[in-house]
Chains A and B, each alone.
Chain A
Amino acid sequence: MADNVDEDAPYRIKEEDYVVLKRGDIFKAVQIVPKKKVIFEKQWFFLDNAVGQLYGSTFDIVPGGTLQPRKPKDAESPADAKEAGTDNRNIQDDGKSQKLTRDDIENFKEQGLTDQQIIQQLVDNSSTFIGKTKYAQDKYIKKKKKKYENIVTILKPSCRILALMYHGREPGKICHLRYDTLAQMLTLANIHAGSKVLVFETCAGLLLGSVMERMGGYGSVIQMYPGGGPVRAGVESFGFPAHFHDTLHEFPVCHVNALLAGTLDTAPPKDASAGRDTNSAADDVCDPEKEAREKQRGQRLSFKRKKLASAAALLEGRNADGLVIASRFHPCPVLMGMLKFLAPSRPFVVYSQYKEPLIECYTKLKEQGGAVNLRLADTWLRHYQVLPNRTHPVLLMSGGGGFLLSGTTVAADAPKPAGAQRAEGPAPKRLKVA
């Protein structure tokens, strides 16, 4: 028995874990904090009872806001396999088929009937239920369940689940990156353990987290960021172990040109410390607090400088193994700059919500050379409803998933070899001397 519990331990929910709540197709990423109220789908509850359960378990939300594990065995739905009609010719839609009133249902809720029981009551008091076809009855019950069932499933976060969540909840935050397009990016860029990947994204950290997940803590990821500091909110939701963050570096895009030119200065400035010394000599009598603050600030700055230097050292070798770009900024200048950090024969992928910026990038790359296998593509995603006798496509999502430009770097062109003459025109005519 004790062994059993130990084996399961990695699959059990723990406090402080980052998890994803799921009901139907709605997801939400939260952290398990004891005695903290969580709101999800218009319901408030505490996650305390989830600790110790297996990931993937489903819970009932009982009135009061606590979670109760739900027995998986009660799968039989109310009014199963009873009478059913053949078609809807006699079914009038006059709003009078349900005999229970709203007050009655409120009473049931107050009395504490379970959702199964409430649905059973609704079915029993519906005059048209028996006349519906079996499929219509299933649909009716499904609709009621959606309204009255208070369940939530707790999942372990992963790239797939978080991509589904972001795309469903806040596509604007991730530049409308659809999850299958994200999948294409990760594969086309050959993200795997042990490589050195450059990432430039403004997708709330979703792309960065997905890249880190695929690398499993091996290798290194350098995040290039616009502006003052890297945005990594999404990376937290993945719940990576601490050592994954050791592989993550960051480098500001504003310094890329300096680094390429070799003029980036990461040494600590000399005069600042000199200034501090003279200051402290004069003021040390009256302001020990100020001194401490200054010292802290100095430490923070030198810490930042060290990180900048370490990232610059990783980049300077110009031997990165992959480049992934997905941002709301125009990709052209970013791409052209960052390609220089890639070794030859390495893949790169650029995502954009619209294809025009990628067309520009494509043209520039063709002109400049240094990349082969350039491909500008988008993918379509179609969901299917899969039920016996009722399997069919649900809807077509088209043009909403963004576009990808992918290619492979090659060694920069040496002066044109002799072989090129083959296709040049005839040799220019010699001018006749008059």
Chain B
Amino acid sequence: MSFVEYSDLIRDGDVAIVYLGHESMMHVKVKQGAQTQTRYGVIRHSSDLIGRRYGSKVTCSKGGWVYVLHPTPELWTVTLPHRTQILYTTDIATITMMLELKPGCVVCESGTGSGSLSHAILRSVAPTGHLHTVEFHQQRAEKAAEEFKEHGVDGLVTVRNQDVCKDGFGVSGVADAVFLDIPSPWEAVRHAKAAMKRQGPEDVRGVGRGGLRGDQHPGGPAEGPRRADRLPAAARLRRRPLRSDRRRRCRPHRDQASDPRRLEDHHPAQRDARSHGVPDLRLQTQDLKSSGF
């Protein structure tokens, strides 16, 4: 399994995505002999997962069933463990197009955060590109490096634990694209310039491109996981472990269209971006399913 290449069968050591129902998924590290608890019962990795095809229906011990999906950056974005506020697929898609990412690009990114955008970039620049990502928080940098290794992409990425505003990206003159998502992105602009290619990538325009994303006012609160009340509703929901849900709610049959969980159906892709110096795109999605269709 790799996040940048499809495979057919689930193997020991893979990361798979278990689909439990609408907007309810979780990631699972497949391990010989391990078990995963879900609200429908136990999934025994050795018998239910290893050797099965991705996309199959897996019956759990209590009789319910789930689907097991091949991991993609989009599925990872909605199931990854948050260490920071992350970017969601809607913004990631626009960023990927605006930075003109394609196989072979070299990209510099800071901050890594929880790795949501990083995985998407890796998918777009594989197999010949590279991602240089900088994270100033040591544990987050280590966790990100660990995840990249687990997901089979560590050859395509270099994680550096340093402050991009002081020490830059650690490379110079190689980047086709630079992305900044830090509290004070203007402080890193000169490092971004140093990291960019002099003439631009071999098949694009004259100057390397940069995307700035500033989510805070100058001098705003310190970097770190946002306060829970500022998280979008769906992210808040994800932080609760599923086990406690089982006791609290009596679930109706999954095939019914209405589902009490989906009342808070605001799509997390709504971002409140106030950036400087770059045309800003405010994106909203309307989920028609939430109208009880």
Among A31-39, A188-196, A248-256, A276-284, the one that faces the other chain is A188-196
Q: Which residues from 178 to 232 on chain B have a C-beta closer than 8 Å to any C-beta of chain A? A: 199-200, 202-207
- Answer yes or no: B249 CB below 8 A from chain A CBs: no
By a CB distance below 8 angstroms, the chain B residues around A321 are 6
B81 contacts chain A at the CB level, 8 A cutoff: no
B93-101, B138-146, B162-170, B240-248 - the one binding chain A: B93-101
In the assembled complex, B236 has its CB within 8 A of some CB on chain A: no
Contacts of A378 in B (CB 8 A): 285-286
Minimum C-beta distance from B33 to chain A (A): 24
Q: Are B204 and A194 in contact (CB under 8 A)?
A: no
When distances are taken between beta carbons in the complex, the residues of chain A under 8 Å from B254 are 423
Check A375–B287 contact: CB distance below 8 A. yes
- B252 CB within 8 Å of chain A: yes
Chain A's interface size range is 35 or more
Q: Which residue of the partner chain, among B55, B102, B203, contacts A156 with CB atoms under 8 Å?
A: B203
Which residues of A (178-202) have their CB < 8 Å from a CB of B?
179-180, 182-184, 186-188, 190, 192-195
Q: Are B56 and A411 in contact (CB under 8 A)?
A: yes
Query: Which residue on chain A has the smallest CB distance to residue B100?
Result: A158
Encoded as 1 (CB less than 8 Å from any A CB) or 0, chain B from 57 to 71 comes to 101101111011110
Given contacts A179-B97, A346-B6, A408-B69, contact A10 B102 (CB under 8 A): no
Min CB gap A92→B, angstroms: 36
Which A residues, 19 to 59, have Cβ-Cβ distances below 8 Å to chain B? 54-57
Q: Does A225 contact B (CB under 8 A)?
A: no
Give the most central of A347, A379, A381, A421: most B CB within 10 Å: A379
Residue of A nearest to B209 (CB): A160
Which residues on the A side are within 8 Å of B102 (C-beta)? 213-214, 216
CB distance B93 to A345 under 8 Å?
no
Is residue A377 contacting chain B, with contact meaning CB distance below 8 A?
Answer: yes
Answer yes or no: B267 CB below 8 A from chain A CBs. yes
Q: Is A331 an interface residue (CB 8 A)?
A: no
The complex places the Cα of A346 from the Cα of B282 at a distance, in Å, of 29
A71 at the interface (CB under 8 A from B): no
Counting CB contacts under 8 A, is B4 at the interface?
yes
Q: Which residues of chain B come closer than 8 Å to A203, judged between CB atoms?
A: none
Q: Find out whether the CB atom of B278 lies under 8 angstroms from the CB atom of A386.
A: yes
Contact between chains at A193 and B279 (CB < 8 Å): no
**Cα(A56)–Cα(B198), bound, Å:** 12
* Chain B positions within 8 Å of A218 at CB level: 103, 127
- Nearest CB in chain A to that of B204: its residue: A156
Is A259 located at the chain interface by the 8 A CB criterion?
no
B276 interfacial by beta-carbon distance below 8 Å? yes
Q: How far is the CA of A374 from the CA of B288 in the complex (A)?
A: 10
Does residue B171 face the partner (Cβ distance < 8 Å to A)? no
Point out the residue from A188, A192, A414, A423 that lies within 8 Å of B93, measured CB to CB.
A188
Docked CA distance A156–B205 (Å): 5
A240, chain B: closest CB distance, angstroms: 9
User: Which residues, 138 to 162 on A, are CB-close (under 8 Å) to B?
Assistant: 155-156, 158-160
* Residues in B neighbouring A190, C-beta threshold 8 A: 72-74, 123
Contact A377 B288 (CB under 8 A): yes
Q: Which residues of B contact A213 (CB under 8 A)?
A: 102
A375–B60 Cα distance when bound, in Å, is: 26
Complex: how many Å from CA A217 to CA B68? 30
User: Do the beta carbons of A410 and B67 come within 8 Å of each other?
Assistant: yes
B281 is contacted by which of A180, A347, A391, A413 (Cβ under 8 Å)?
A: A180
Interface residue? A307 (CB, 8 A): no
Q: Please name all residues of chain A whose beta carbon is closer than 8 Å to the beta carbon of B74 when the two chains form the complex.
A: 187-188, 190, 347
Given A187-B93, A193-B103, A55 contacting B204 (CB threshold 8 A) = yes
Are A359 and B288 closer than 8 Å at their CB atoms? Answer: yes
> Given A160-B97, A321-B6, A8 and B73 touching (CB < 8 A)?
no
Within B101-137, which residues are at the interface with A (CB < 8 Å)?
Answer: 102-104, 120, 123-124, 126-128
Cα distance A346–B127 in the bound complex, in angstroms = 20
From A56, A184, A194, A377, contact of B207 by CB (8 A) = A56
Which residues of A are found within 8 Å of B282, using beta-carbon distances?
380-382
A194 touches B127 (CB 8 A): yes
Residues of chain A at the chain B interface (Cβ within 8 Å): 7-8, 10-11, 54-57, 155-156, 158-160, 163, 179-180, 182-184, 186-188, 190, 192-195, 213-218, 319, 321, 343-347, 355, 359, 362, 372-384, 386, 391, 408-411, 413-414, 417-419, 421-423
Known contacts A160-B100, A195-B6, A417-B65; can you find 11 more A-B pairs with CB under 8 A? A11-B202, A56-B200, A214-B102, A216-B104, A319-B8, A362-B288, A373-B19, A378-B285, A382-B281, A410-B69, A417-B63
List 7 A-B pairs, minimum CB-CB distance, nearest first. A56-B206, A344-B55, A216-B103, A419-B63, A345-B55, A423-B253, A187-B93
